[in-house]
Amino acid sequence: MARNPRLRTVLAVAAALQLAACAVGPAYQRPPLVTPPAYQASKDWKIAAPADAVPRGKWWMIFRDPLLDALAQDIETSNQDLRFAEAQFRRAQALTRQARAGLMPTVTGDVSVTRSGGGRRDSATNYDVSGRVSWDADLWGRVRKSIEAGAATEAASAADLASVRLALQSELVLSYLQMRVLDSQRQLLDETAEAFAKSLQLTRNRYQAGLAGRVDVAQAEAQLKSTQAQAIDTGVQRAQFENAIAVLRGRAPAEQAIAPVPLKAALPSIPAGVPSALLERRPDIAAAERRVAAANAQIGVAMAAMYPSLTLSASAGLASSSFANWLSLPSRVWAFGPALAQTLFDAGARRAVTDQAIAAHEATIATYRQTVLGAFQEVEDNLSALRILEQEAVVQADAVTAARQALELTTNQYKAGIVSYLNVVSAQTTLLNNERTALSLLGRRLTAAAQLVRALGGGWTVEQAQADGAGGGAAAK
User: 246-280: per-residue pLDDT in tens?
Assistant: 999 999 999 889 999 988 877 887 777 778 888 87
The predicted model scores a pTM of 0.81
Give residues with Cβ within 8 angstroms of 77, minimum separation 6: 250, 475
**What is each CA distance from 409 to 264, 402, 433, in whole angstroms?**
31, 11, 18
pLDDT digits (tens, 9 = 90+) for 235-247: 999 999 999 999 9
Q: How far apart are CA 430 and CA 182, in angstroms?
A: 20
How far does Cα 390 stand from its chain's mean position?
30
Distances from the Cα of 232 to the Cα of 187, 188, 236, 433, 477, angstroms: 11, 12, 8, 17, 45
Residue 47 has pLDDT above 60, yes or no: no
Contact 170, 141 (CB under 8 A): no
DSSP 458: T
Evaluated on CA atoms 76, 81, 87, 88, the torsion sign reads: negative
Hey, what domains does the chain have and what are their CATH numbers?
A: 5-104+130-319+329-476 (1.20.1600.10)
pLDDT of residue 43: 60
Instruction: Outline where DSSP puts E strands in 332-391.
Output: 332-341
- SS3 (DSSP) at 29: coil
Residue 404 has pLDDT above 80, yes or no: yes
Q: What are phi and psi of 112, to 5 degrees?
A: -145, 150
Q: How many CA atoms, within 13 angstroms, populate the side-chain half-sphere of residue 289?
A: 16
Could you list the beta-strand ranges (E) of 243-294: none
462-476 vs 80-101: helix crossing angle, rounded to 10: 100
Instruction: Answer whether residue 405 shows pLDDT above 60.
Output: yes
CA atoms within 13 A on the CB side of 386: 26
Mark out the alpha helices in 120-252 (DSSP H runs): 142-208, 214-248
- The 10s digit of each residue's pLDDT in 168-193 is 999 999 999 999 999 999 999 999 99
How far is it, in rounded angstroms, from Cα 378 to Cα 273? 14
For residue 427, what are the CA distances in angstroms to 409, 433, 437?
9, 10, 15
Q: Give the pLDDT score at 164.
A: 92
- The three-state secondary structure class of 269 is coil
| φ and ψ at residue 45, rounded to 5 degrees | -130, 100
